[in-house]
Every structure is written in C-alpha cells, then in structure tokens.
Amino acid sequence: AQSVSQHNHHVILSEAASLELGCNYSYGGTVNLFWYVQYPGQHLQLLLKYFSGDPLVKGIKGFEAEFIKSKFSFNLRKPSVQWSDTAEYFCAVNVGDYKLSFGAGTTVTVRA
Amino acid sequence: SQTIHQWPATLVQPVGSPLSLECTVEGTSNPNLYWYRQAAGRGLQLLFYSVGIGQISSEVPQNLSASRPQDRQFILSSKKLLLSDSGFYLCAWSAQGLSNQPQHFGDGTRLSIL
C-alpha cells in the first residue's frame, strides 16, 4: 500500500515569512495528489489538487504546490503567510481506487 | 450546492454500549461515501467506503461496522464500544465517476469512551 510522509510535524513562523511544507509518497504508478487544510474549529477543506498537466498547481488563498515525479514529492508553498493561515495541513494521495491515503499532517502556527 | 451533515458533534459513551453515528449528504446523487478516524499526529485513517447502497468496503479490522441503507446516508456502528474506539470520526463524500474526485468532509464527531 502507498504511504504519505509529511516531514514537518509543527512549523512556527512570523507573518510575511515564506512557507514550504514537504510531502513525499511511495507509489510508482500514476497518482492524484491533494492538499487539504483544517482551520481551527472548521472541517477539512480542499486547498489544491494535481491530476495531470502542469506540475505547478495553484490553489486557494495564494497557495501553490509542485509535483516532482522524480522525487515523489508534492510540496506546498506560500510566498508570504498571514496569521489566518494558522491551521493543520494534510497531504493526500489517490492511486485511482477511490481511496485517499493521508499524511500525518503539519500544524502551522503563524505569529502576528 | 452539496452539503454533508454529521451528527452528533460530540458523544460520550460507556464501554460496552452500542454506537450509531450518522452521515447524510444533500445535493448530489449516488455519491461515494467514506468514514475516517483522525488521530492526533497520525492523519486520517480510512475505515470504510461505499460506492453504492448496500456496498461497504472495510479497510481495517476493528470493532466497528458501516451500513448504507439509503443512497445518501452512511452509518457507523458498533455493538459494544471499546476504550480504543475513542477518537474523532469524519464522514466524507466524493462524486461518482472518475476515481480522482476530491473528497468533501463533514464537521466530524468527537467520541469519548469512558
């Protein structure tokens, strides 16, 4: 079965700093990739997704992610974070069977 | 627009008691439905999924079961709860068709077993 690794458990940064969250997966075939976000007290929401085409995908709220097939990675980035980006972020992988495998999540705390 | 409802939001149950968590989806037909358990620091673990009425696939052996009595209703159950069943349970749906459809999550149920 495929696995998903998120390297950072907790990231703390100041407003306007740049953010990059790492995500690696273990599966050699075609994958569909997702980043979900869970703001405090809210449900999980889709941030962005990659199915095919341009490996640099843009999502909501200024986030983007780059699929690097050779590195089995799908890292999430934001050039300048805001206090409202404080949340837990989950990377997820689908290999064409309706199921999602999630990483353990990264808690991001943005200090004002 | 599509919405997903989960209830109750929180539940405190004694060991050995039964469980029934309900999830319903509105605004779509024949969705794929999912039950997850979310543990702190461990992400989401898929427990069950369903691609149609009466069709349930179990991902992990456990003390829980799932049923789909109607197209947009998904129920998570147990006959006798264990302490280890405590956790945060999430229901989700995705559109039928391509397997790469994103999943949409409910607000979750916090289950505490005493």
- The per-residue pLDDT of chain B, averaged, comes to 92
Residue B81: predicted pLDDT:
95
- What's the CA dihedral at B92, B108, A62, A83 to 10 degrees? 180
Contacts of B97 (CB under 8 A, 6+ apart): none
B99, A46: Cβ pair inside 8 Å?
no
Band (pLDDT 50/70/90 cuts) for residue B41 is: confident
Contacts of B58 (CB under 8 A, 6+ apart): B47, B48, B65, B66
Task: Note whether B102 contacts A: Cβ–Cβ < 8 A.
Answer: yes
| Residue B96 scores a pLDDT above 90 | no
B100, A102: Cβ pair inside 8 Å?
no
**Window from A54-68, A86-100, B80-94 with minimum mean pLDDT:** A86-100
The letter for the amino acid at A25 is Y
Residue A107: predicted pLDDT:
96
* B103-114 pLDDT, tens digit each: 999 999 999 999
How many CA atoms lie less than 13 Å away from B12 in the CB half-sphere?
1
A49, B104: Cβ pair inside 8 Å?
no
Cα separations in angstroms, B112 against A4, A89, B17, B93? 28, 24, 12, 24
* A38-57 pLDDT, tens digit each: 999 899 999 999 998 999 99
Average pLDDT over residues A11-35: 94
Least CB–CB distance from A90: residue in B43, B49, B100: B43
B59, A99: Cβ pair inside 8 Å?
yes
